[in-house]
Amino acid sequence: MSSKQGGKLKPLKQPKADKKEYDEMDKANIQKKKDEEKALKELRAKASQKGSFGGTGLKKSGKK
């Protein structure tokens, strides 16, 4: 079928999601999760500064 409409079709707009109402427990859980992620990110940054853990790597045999 030939159509004079060229190019891609635009996707239909999705309706905006309603804002969720959070109670105190939900807010506390969300804040706790954010704090844990922040601490984990800091630990990763700290660990990357020190370099490799063992430092020795793979040992090679003396044979040639």
For the segment 11-52, what is each residue's pLDDT rounded down to a tens digit? Answer: 888 888 888 888 899 999 999 999 999 999 999 888 887 665
pLDDT given for residue 5 in this prediction: 66
pLDDT at residue 60 is higher than 80: no
Under the phi-then-psi rule, with left for phi > 0, alpha for psi from -120 to 50, and beta for the rest, what region is 55?
Answer: left
pLDDT given for residue 51 in this prediction: 60
pLDDT given for residue 11 in this prediction: 81
pLDDT at residue 1 is higher than 80: no
Q: What is the rounded CA–CA span in Å between residue 53 and residue 47?
A: 9
Element (H, E) at 36: helix 24-50
